[in-house]
Chains A and B, each alone.
Chain A
């Protein structure tokens, strides 16, 4: 199976006034389709920058990024937006749900930027289906303030899944949750990976998270330190 994600000598340099700050200094890695991977690194290691590039939120200064068979490093803002909508699902540490908006409507958000022509009913059905999948069938009409942290994150996961992404990027998904709930959420990622074959990349600094994945990519000072497990 071809690699879903393939980075070749990715470099990212920020220009702060006259000083150039190299954050990624030539990262090369590959993630196969259907893999469950942890990307680990301390703060300042370039972990977030790498995740932004992987998530097509940012483009590298140099190097090649192959996503789903396309070289996307030179894509403009508009094309990257479409890519994110179609291929990538995001889960954030702070959930990023819209306040005073029901779970269902939160899950619906990505669909308003899709090219697919779905009727309003189809959209709602699909959103309800996703919420059922994450075990929130009875919380459809609840607003974030009426949901627990774990439930909120599950809504966020349902939202990330609604466009049937191939790649799920989770940025510290358990950072705001207690350990018990964290286990639940991580278990959900494992299930999604196993049953739906979605490629999942968990970005974290927490070693406990890494135990759930077969492979861990460690990043330090802008370079890949070494891969543990299956390459």
Chain B
């Protein structure tokens, strides 16, 4: 009731001087609108930068087999092969924080097309998810292989720009066959250029094929960093028949299947392991959760006892993540400062006009005091006016700000992100600005001597 009365009096006083009220409000409207527009554009920019950094692999998690320790000698990361494609499936099923999972089988060998040959930095066998994990889905030419190709161990591949340059001298490689360690692969796509990674390795120097193909047709063994084709030059004269599943296998691990068995089981039982599993978290914030979930899922999948150490390692890209969070923090700070400045300017405007208003209404203050207003009543009244102006300005400012940012995103095609936080902050801040900058004029008014105030001309 009492508050209502104060607000009513304030509204009445503001109505009495419409023009002044409008001008004062305008300051806050511009301030709040600027804050909201800046915040939304800034958030859009942050998101765009995040997306860019994510394509560098900021959200990428690498699962690597554990180290083997024999008689005190540690063979280092990857010396045991504990990861299987099944693990990749488990991660994609059990880890909600993980967006995409791709198993990877590596190879290093010579590739040949026509008279040219080349040893790519990366020969990766994976699934189509690999391109999602690496945020590499837009192809320069052709298309990526499919899950179907993975199941069939199809001899298809997509290659990076460097290989196109080295093997095809810049001509379109689509539909051409290249030989990878005597296995013919049909090139079905060219990856868009990605350039070097942070370690200076050329990421476009890549041949990507279904992991089943690489695993069973190219490398029969696990990872090898040596040039596998070099050690096998003696076998190079062997005829590579298309029906032979494991062309380069040296020792047979399992009994050879009869033709009947082959007919009954078109998918041979494969005891596969993969060299690495790549996964990406849904967002930078979910990286720790994703690591935890992956660890749990793999421990369960590997039937590890609670006391047993992990037989794998999950790594995150700390360097890029740090760069991302510091960039984001910087932008947020920058926006905050800009927002603060514009609100302070608006606030000073309010203070100015409120001071003028107090001076202009000295007689009114005198009269109110004469009929029984205590200094606090006067203080409250002018504060209420300032706050009403600020809130009014805040509300209009929100509308104008949202409108401007929508316009910016429509007309200039800048990314903007609507932010409820910015709106709440703008209202809270505009009310605070009203209190802070309205206080001095209100205090000044309340300190007036009623006698002088009544006599003021």
- Taking beta carbons and an 8 Å cutoff, which residues of A are in contact with B? 52, 55, 57-58, 77-78, 81-82, 84-86, 90, 92, 96, 98-101, 105, 109-110, 112-114, 159-160, 163
Contact A109 B368 (CB under 8 A): yes
Q: Which residues of A contact B374 (CB under 8 A)?
A: 77-78, 81-82, 113
The answer for the CA separation of A84 and B370 in the assembled complex, in Å, is 7
Q: Which residues of B contact A113 (CB under 8 A)?
A: 368, 371-374, 377
Cβ-defined partner of B375 (8 Å) among A78, A84, A105? A78
Between A and B, 11 residue pairs with Cβ closer than 8 Å are A57-B451, A58-B451, A84-B371, A92-B454, A101-B12, A105-B12, A112-B5, A112-B9, A112-B377, A113-B377, A114-B372
* B364 interface residue (CB < 8 Å to A): yes
Contact B5 A81 (CB under 8 A): no
Q: Which residues of A contact B370 (CB under 8 A)?
A: 55, 57, 84, 90, 96
Q: Which residues of A contact B376 (CB under 8 A)?
A: 78
The 6 A-B residue pairs with the shortest CB-CB distance, nearest first, are A85-B372, A110-B371, A113-B372, A81-B374, A100-B16, A96-B367
The answer for the CA separation of A84 and B366 in the assembled complex, in Å, is 13
The answer for the CA separation of A81 and B367 in the assembled complex, in Å, is 11
Contact A82 B375 (CB under 8 A): no
Most buried by B among A85, A92, A112: A112
The answer for the CA separation of A159 and B370 in the assembled complex, in Å, is 12
* B441 interface residue (CB < 8 Å to A): no
- Knowing A100-B16, A101-B12 are in contact, say whether A77-B375 is a contact too (CB < 8 A): yes
The answer for the CA separation of A121 and B363 in the assembled complex, in Å, is 28
- Taking beta carbons and an 8 Å cutoff, which residues of B are in contact with A? 5, 9, 12, 15-16, 363-364, 366-377, 450-451, 454
**Interface residues of B, dominant DSSP:** helix
- Knowing A92-B454, A105-B12 are in contact, say whether A98-B364 is a contact too (CB < 8 A): yes
The answer for the CA separation of A157 and B12 in the assembled complex, in Å, is 22
The answer for the CA separation of A105 and B364 in the assembled complex, in Å, is 14
The answer for the CA separation of A83 and B450 in the assembled complex, in Å, is 14
For B450, the closest partner residue in chain A by CB is: A57
The answer for the CA separation of A92 and B377 in the assembled complex, in Å, is 22
Contact A96 B372 (CB under 8 A): no
Given contacts A113-B374, A160-B371, 12 further A-B pairs with CB under 8 A are A57-B369, A57-B451, A78-B375, A81-B377, A84-B370, A84-B372, A85-B373, A98-B364, A100-B16, A101-B12, A109-B371, A113-B372
Contact A99 B371 (CB under 8 A): no
Q: Which residues of A contact B15 (CB under 8 A)?
A: 100
